[in-house]
Amino acid sequence: MNEFPVYTDGLLTRHDGISLHTLPPLSLYVHIPWCIRKCPYCDFNSHQIKQPVDETVYVEALLRDLESELPYFWGRPIHSIFIGGGTPSVFSAHAIDDLLSGIRARTQLLANAEITLEANPGTFEKQRFQDFAAAGINRLSIGVQSFDDRKLAALGRIHNRQEALAAIETALSLFPQVNIDLMYALPDQSIKDAQADIKTALDTGVNHISAYQLTMEPNTPFGHTPPARLPDEEGSDDIETKIHQELAAAGFERYEISAFARAQQYCRHNLNYWQFGDYIGIGAGAHGKLSSANNMVRTTRVRHPKDYLAAMQDKPEVAIDRQNVLPQALPFEFMMNALRLTQGVPTHWFSERTGRDISCIQPAITQAVKRGLLDPQPQFLKATALGQRFLNDLLALFLEN
Ligand SMILES: C[S@@+](CC[C@H](N)C(=O)[O-])C[C@H]1O[C@@H](n2cnc3c(N)ncnc32)[C@H](O)[C@@H]1O
Ligand code: SF4
């Protein structure tokens, strides 16, 4: 089994004398809330562009947002940046360059930081991708969903198979790491269709694939009126099993429920979430989590881009909600992330990253091991195959400890 890389902040000391090596690594999430067209299944905070977006104003708002957050993470290096959405690739490379320069000027961004940008193949232009790479993006995550034109049409996507393949080919020539998102259990999808999608994905040569089961989210057009001919539960399970088999046969490790990597090309940014690391979240609707010596705070930015922009021009603090996480909520939150990882996490991280003693979850651990849901080896907190399958049952044991 491959070991996950562990990122630490080293032995930095803040001027107030608190040693930061006890804090987890810190990442930065940046939300860009616009898309060319809103997909009918999507409940992300993303808005169809109806009139031209002023990128300069939004980048300025993001940097002001970051500045308002600086006192809360002063002196801590940033290990990774993830520019997500929405569709960040609707922004020009110039805007992304300004954003990254602004972040570098205000923070201690590590020289080897992973910097990801989410892209939609419908926004693909070779020059634009080249300029994203020149701006410092070193990982491109492309929302492909399927390579089947009929499925793409049923999903309301703005691109076709050819555009997806062209975007991937160019991305592989420009970025050290490329991820593609696929969805399965699509309308009218057979196991053969799903197999064909995976085969095409593998043939491109990418080393990271995220495969999500299409879910019907309540406040979306698909949530109100699900598309016809969706696979039933058994059909979806069969498709999922086939996809996992094909990926494993091609040398992909399923390192998280929906994330598969070859040659240890894990997404370091997402790994930090699952390992209960810290992250700053800037941009409309973005979430953050920051630990300090004696508490943990979750932050949420106001969701609507209009409200967010107005607040950032005037009083950033009105757009930012900060809530202390109650100590009794921490075990569940920690386990909800850590147990998504197939390798789990070292047990000592529990107390290091929640500030709670492991004894508070010992009864839950004992019960989970007894039920075959948790691996019995004491040095890791790791779900068994059964525990992964019934993750909600496993997590329920860790509620309110
Ligand atoms: C923010 S989007 C990624 C980039 C870009 N917006 C795009 O769609 O091309 C993140 C990913 O979430 C997945 N996703 C979104 N809504 C979903 C749903 N209802 N069910 C399953 N996966 C979903 C898609 O695979 C999508 O690529
Ligand atoms: S392009 Fe991506 S973020 Fe935008 S609506 Fe579609 S799935 Fe959601």
Question: Cβ(311)–Cβ(303) under 8 Å?
Answer: no
Q: Is 184 helix (H, G, I), strand (E, B) or coil?
A: strand
Smallest-distance ligand from the CA of 179: 1
pLDDT at position 400 is: 67
**Atom of ligand 1 minimally distant from the CA of 213:** 21
Measured in Å, residue 37 CA sits from the centre of ligand 2 at 7
Q: Which of 136, 188, 140, 145 is nearest to 168 (CA)?
A: 140
Task: Answer left, alpha or beta for residue 229, where phi above 0 means left and psi between -120 and 50 means alpha.
Answer: left
Question: Cβ(117)–Cβ(132) under 8 Å?
Answer: yes
Ligand 2 contact via 120 beta carbon (within 6 Å) = yes
Q: In whole angstroms, what is the distance from residue 80 CA to residue 110 CA?
A: 8
pLDDT at position 21 is: 43
DSSP 69: H
**Atom of ligand 1 minimally distant from the CA of 145:** 25
Q: Which of 118, 188, 108 is nearest to 153 (CA)?
A: 188
- Establish how many alpha carbons lie within 13 A of residue 19's alpha carbon, considering only the half-sphere containing its beta carbon: 5
Residue 327: CB partners within 8 Å, gap ≥ 6?
A: 354, 355, 356
Ligand 2 contact via 185 beta carbon (within 6 Å) = no
Q: Which of 94, 88, 93, 97 is nearest to 46 (CA)?
A: 88
One digit per residue, the tens of pLDDT, for the chain of length 401 reads 445 555 444 433 333 333 334 789 999 999 999 999 999 999 999 999 999 999 999 999 999 999 999 999 999 999 999 999 999 999 999 999 999 999 999 999 999 999 999 999 998 999 999 999 999 999 999 999 999 999 999 999 999 999 999 999 999 999 999 999 999 999 999 999 999 999 999 999 999 999 999 999 999 999 999 999 999 999 999 999 999 999 999 999 999 999 999 999 999 999 999 999 999 999 999 999 999 877 899 999 999 999 999 999 999 999 999 999 998 999 999 999 999 999 999 999 999 899 889 999 999 999 999 999 999 999 999 999 999 999 999 999 999 66
Measured in Å, residue 127 CA sits from the centre of ligand 2 at 23
* Chain position carrying tokens 């039933």: 232
Which is it for strands 139-145 and 177-184: parallel, antiparallel or unpaired? Answer: parallel
Measured in Å, residue 41 CA sits from the centre of ligand 1 at 9
∠ CA 342-345-350, nearest 5°, is 140
Q: Which of 387, 367, 388, 366 is nearest to 378 (CA)?
A: 366
- Distance (Å) of CA 227 to CA 133, 214, 233: 38, 11, 15
Q: In whole angstroms, what is the distance from residue 80 CA to residue 174 CA?
A: 19
pLDDT at position 4 is: 56
pTM of the model: 0.94
Measured in Å, residue 117 CA sits from the centre of ligand 1 at 14
Query: Which tokens belong to 39?
Result: 């997909």
Task: Answer left, alpha or beta for residue 285, where phi above 0 means left and psi between -120 and 50 means alpha.
Answer: left
Q: In whole angstroms, what is the distance from residue 237 CA to residue 194 CA?
A: 12
Longest dimension (CA), the chain: 61
Query: Which tokens belong to 158?
Result: 């703005």
Residue 152: CB partners within 8 Å, gap ≥ 6?
A: 145, 146, 159, 160, 161
Q: In whole angstroms, what is the distance from residue 31 CA to residue 283 CA?
A: 5
pLDDT at position 401 is: 64
pLDDT at position 12 is: 38
Q: Atom 1 in ligand 1: which residue has the minimum CA distance?
A: 85
Ligand 2 contact via 90 beta carbon (within 6 Å) = no
Q: Which of 4, 7, 10 is nearest to 27 (CA)?
A: 7
